[in-house]
Amino acid sequence: MFKTIGVLAHVDAGKTTFSEQLLYHTQSIKERGRVDHKDAYLDNHSIERRRGITIFAEQGRIHFNGDTYTLIDTPGHVDFSPEMERAISVMDYAILIISAVDGIEGHTETVWHLLRQHHVPTFIFINKIDRDGASVDNVMMEIRKEFSQDALLITETLTENSLPENVLEWIAERDEELLEQYMEGEVDSLAFFSKLKDMIQNEQAFISMAGSALKDIGVKEFFEQLSILTDTSYDKNGPFQGKVYKIRHDEQNQRITFIKAVSGTLHVRDEINVGEETEKVTEIRLYNGIKYETAQQVEAGEIFAVKGLSEAKIGDVLGGDFARDEFELMPTLQAKVVYTGTEHIKEVLRYFRMLEAEEPTLRVVWSEKFQDIHVHVMGVIQLEVLVEVAKERFNMDITFEDPKILYMETIQTTVTGYGHFEPLKHYAEVHLKMEPAPRGSGIVFENDCHADDLSVGYQRLIEKHLFERDHHGLLTGYPITDIRFTLLTGRAHNKHTEGGDFREATFRALRQGLEQAENVLLEPYYRFKMKADLTHLGRMMTDIQQASGTFEAPEMMENQVTIIGRAPVSTFMNYSTIFSAYTNGKGALSLQFDGYDFCHNADEVIEKIGYRKDADPEYTSSSIFCAKGKGYSVPWDEAEEVMHCLKK
């Protein structure tokens, strides 16, 4: 049986040390490394060892009790959480590490939320019980209050034939048939054990155990319990399907694609459909840290890497019906790359495109006009790491300008955008209805165009152009979002229409629609949760209001207060240091990205950015028509009157 197990935690909770112990106890490694000694097996990147944090999700391979486990050690720092989320998408089970001293910390909440979102059954290991101030009972109370009432602390060994009394009672309380058995004193241990496994699988039970990864207390016992309480079932006989969750480049800059097989079997030399392309697998690798062995075939349930795929992107589901996984965590900052070396800037761009393949949230933006590169990032630590990665991998000295907030734009009114492109020997016309869509829905496309008016091929081309890139808004030039586009109609010419004509007409229709609409600026928001001593309540509420935030009624417990609310990223991104200072490090603040909403200081931001909509080289709202063998331009406010599809 193949099982993929992820290890997740807030930074410094002991996740990598825990993983080292597991690999050691299962004979996957001969010596245990330590993060503080800079020799952890899964933190194999020199940058990780220097910094003492996990940045890249790496896997170890374990053989235990007849099963093969892939253990994925994930980043714990918020700046690298998209890497963690992508690893979550291929996990069968997760181990969440929580410090017995610090309890549930900011990032732990994000991790829990993502595990529930992706429906990954979760085990909890309460770590650092050897430290002063450790309290397993307090942490369990916190877990049950913040996460789930269905967290069950195990202190005795469970087997199929023997379950402790408190566990039998706990299961019986949650199942009527078994409750009857329990009350009559006729306990079938196997039925209870089987029920517990089902509950774990269905996220109705979260087994929790305590120990110390550093002192090697309880780690082996925890894994033994996990191994008998987990099952996977994959169909290795069906057609091959696999999820791409990671991309790397080796020393020769050859692309290595990491895949989780979810059905079927894959052999070396097999061909895989990647979108509309077909590519051949030239090598299969099974990684354990940075070491790997090659294999001739792999089957459903396995995690592996292949060479030979150049088109597959992270999130792609290969084979069968081609699809994509959607991920939740997105950057809210953008930074400009500063490069003063001798290489051509296009070569620097090529390196960043490689990094973007490995970390899609970078969303590298190239400006042909200004010959500069911008990247999207989660925070300043990620920028520091990118500087180190560029030096180490490409021998390239770069820096970044201070990161700026990533704004977005949307519309408040429904309009129809018209675009026509007809210079000599070209022809395309597009009519797009544009409506405001719910917050967080992004760009949505619907089609009301009849095939008698425009062929299905051209209709698909228009849809493709709407999704092929971010489109600039009129207020700041930042991307538009939360708009539903409906293709109403369009027209092509039998002789003169070429592929690129519909791109021109679509972009002009989009821009012409924006000119008519009421445009609004959006900014990213955090959902925050802050806990501190009751004496700080006044300061906390004042700070939230000054940051243009909102909050729910404060929750008091003894001498502690918890406040939950929302605030703009721009006013709250550096608040953790201020909060830590006035609470003397005893307060707890967690920040989670909470989508985009109306910008609290839109006029100020628009003025500061100073975007000139008429001077954007990539967009125009005018349409091009042709008369007497010559093309001429029609401004957006006159375009509707001359559209061919509207003429009777």
Q: How confident is the model at residue 35 (pLDDT cuts 50, 70, 90)?
A: very low
Quote the pLDDT of residue 36.
46
Q: Angle at CA 347, nearest 5°, toward 344 and 348?
A: 95
The string of pLDDT tens digits covering residues 369-415 is 788 999 999 888 889 889 989 998 899 999 999 999 999 999 999 99
CA neighbor of 181 nearest in space, from 197, 168, 167, 166: 168
Distance CA 532, CA 530 (A): 7
Q: What is the mean pLDDT of residues 566-581?
A: 92
* pLDDT exceeds 90 at position 498: no
**Beta carbons within 10 angstroms of residue 264's beta carbon:** 20
Quote the pLDDT of residue 323.
61
Quote the pLDDT of residue 648.
54
- pTM for this one? 0.83
The string of pLDDT tens digits covering residues 267-300 is 999 998 887 788 999 999 999 888 899 999 999 9
E-strand ranges in 442-518 read 443-447, 483-492
CA neighbor of 195 nearest in space, from 143, 150, 251, 155: 150
| The length of the chain, given as a count of residues | 648
Quote the pLDDT of residue 22.
86
**Beta carbons within 10 angstroms of residue 200's beta carbon:** 22
Distance CA 395, CA 369 (A): 26
Radius of gyration of the chain measured on its C-alpha atoms: 28
* Structure tokens that stand for 472 in this block: 């600039």
E-strand ranges in 505-574 read 519-533, 550-551, 555-557, 560-568
Q: What is the mean pLDDT of residues 563-568?
A: 96
User: Which 3 state secondary structure label does DSSP give 26?
Assistant: coil
Distance CA 255, CA 248 (A): 6
First CA to last CA distance, the chain: 68
Contacts of 537 (CB under 8 A, 6+ apart): 554, 561, 563
Q: Is 360 left (phi over 0), alpha (psi -120 to 50) or beta?
A: alpha
Answer whether 94's CB lies under 8 Å from 6's CB.
yes
Question: 76-85, 126-135, 374-383 — which one is most confidently predicted on average?
Answer: 126-135
- In this structure, the strands spanning 333-339 and 398-400 are antiparallel
CA neighbor of 644 nearest in space, from 498, 427, 457, 415: 427
For the packed helices 165-172 and 189-201, what is the interaxial angle rounded to 10 degrees?
Answer: 60
* Structure tokens that stand for 535 in this block: 């004496």
Tell me the pLDDT of the chain averaged across its residues: 90
Burial of 239 (0-12, 13-18, 19+ CB in 10 A): exposed
